Amino acid sequence: MVRSDTKKPVKVYKNQSYWGEVFSRLRKNKMAMISLYLLITIIALCIIIPIISPYSIETTAMKNREQKPNSEHLLGTDKIGRDLFVRLFYAGRISLGLALAVVFFECVIGVILGSLSGFYGGIIDAVIMRLAEIFLSFPFMMFCITVVAVFGNSVPTLVFVLALLSWPSIARIVRGQILTLREMEYMEACEALGISDFRRIFRHLLPNILAYVIVYATLGMANVILTETSLSFLGLGVSPPTPTWGNMIQEARNMLIIQQKWWYWIPPGICIFISVMCFNILGDGMRDAIDPKMKR
């Protein structure tokens, strides 16, 4: 008697690398893909618009000041006649570039210190984790105010202070993953073969936690954009005349502008909202795509 198998075939990923499987799962998440395309569009506009625009961010024309949006100035002009359309997308360069720089440096510091802490343990682990707890205990806003008051509110200063206060979070994530992975059999084989600690950490351990770092970085971009906006609104962000989305919204502290001059603050507010939402949705999609429990 022939027994028929009535089970439906399970879809598997053949001849695909790990990252190929991750991207295949990510492509099925429509919201994440829409967010990715929107982010690519925003970044492209921030690069292209300031190049092709006939106006620069410093071009002033007092006779054209405080104009409403029109065919010549698509988002109107400010109180000294600068075109707000080109300033909006140039501000995107600064805001997104600052967020990228902060996330890069905090990930570099956090990954290195977290790897050393998890791999060696003992006194090294204790020292690094106590150092992380010290930075986490700093009152964030007061520390930012102090650093800005001493060194000035420039882009390098903001990158320094935000990265310095943010690295403990990623360091703890990396440490937890390293503590698990260092007990695996392939790490015992590496030790038996006499492979150096440096190669074991950076060649065999870190590639296995890269996915978690990417998810953290994606979500971290949204947090940095919101932080820069908050600091700029308080006058602690990047100082004018360099535009950012945050210090463009700072104009909204004037009630007259809120009520009558929406073109000052609504466009940068929309850009911040879309960017933050897209980074968060993309980060959630990446987390779901990377999660081994989502594999079939």
Note the pLDDT tens digit of each residue in 196-250.
777 777 777 787 788 888 888 888 898 888 888 888 877 777 877 788 888 888 8
8 is a domain residue: no
Note the pLDDT tens digit of each residue in 107-120.
999 999 998 888 88
Note the pLDDT tens digit of each residue in 34-90.
999 999 999 999 999 988 888 888 777 777 787 888 888 888 888 888 888 899 999
157 is a domain residue: yes
Asked if 287 contacts 32 with a C-beta cutoff of 8 angstroms, the reply is no
251 is a domain residue: yes
Instruction: Give the whole-angstrom CA distance, residue 273 versus residue 226.
Output: 9
**Residue 18 in this model has a pLDDT that exceeds 70:** no
**Tokens matching residue 66:** 């405080």
10 is a domain residue: no
67 is a domain residue: no
List all residues 6 or more positions away from 15 whose beta carbon is below 8 Å from its beta carbon: none
pTM to 2 decimal places: 0.83
The dihedrals phi and psi of 81, each to the nearest 5 degrees, come to 85, 15
User: What is the CATH number for 241?
Assistant: 1.10.3720.10
230 is a domain residue: yes
Mean pLDDT (the chain) is 82
Domain interval for residue 42: 19-52+76-294
Lowest mean pLDDT among 91-95, 132-136, 292-296: 292-296
12 is a domain residue: no
193 is a domain residue: yes
**Number of domains observed in the structure of the chain:** 1
